[in-house]
């Protein structure tokens, strides 16, 4: 499900969580709650397209993904994964959980 919250700098962010409460991916910051909700709706639309997932490696050697919009702007970023198979499960989880019914 989606969680929209204010961060320490008083900006809005969203997180997509799995049913077990684990954070699957998190957004950039937004100045308004409505812009943040629009970003979450963009994640719902773009997570259905495989080309929207950009797989990368961080400095620690862990895999992570960004979900990008059609304009190539990052919508959300995942946690780090030790293996590509774990990363692929994370992508599948986004595709399964990023739905309109999970956006309140």
- pTM for the complete prediction? 0.91
Distances in whole angstroms, Cα of residue 39 to Cα of each of 2, 14, 21, 85: 11, 8, 20, 27
Dihedral sign for Cα atoms in the order 13, 17, 22, 26: negative
Give the pLDDT score at 16: 96
Instruction: Please tell me the predicted confidence (pLDDT) of residue 80.
Output: 94
**CATH number listed for the domain at residues 2-102:** 2.30.29.80
pLDDT tens-place values along the chain, 104 residues long: 999 999 999 999 999 998 899 999 999 999 999 999 999 999 999 999 999 999 999 999 999 999 999 999 999 999 999 999 999 999 999 999 999 888 86
Query: Which residue ranges make up each domain of the chain?
Result: 2-102
């Amino acid at each position: 499900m989606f969680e929209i919250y204010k961060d320490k700098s008083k900006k809005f962010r969203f997180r997509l969580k799995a049913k077990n409460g684990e954070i699957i991916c998190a957004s950039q910051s937004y100045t308004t709650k409505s812009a943040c909700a629009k970003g979450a709706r963009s994640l719902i639309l773009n997570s259905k397209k495989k080309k929207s997932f950009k797989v990368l490696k961080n400095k620690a050697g862990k895999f992570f993904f960004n979900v990008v919009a059609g304009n190539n702007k990052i919508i959300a970023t995942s946690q780090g994964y030790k293996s590509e198979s774990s990363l692929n499960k994370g992508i599948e989880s986004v595709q399964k959980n990023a739905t309109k019914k999970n956006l309140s």
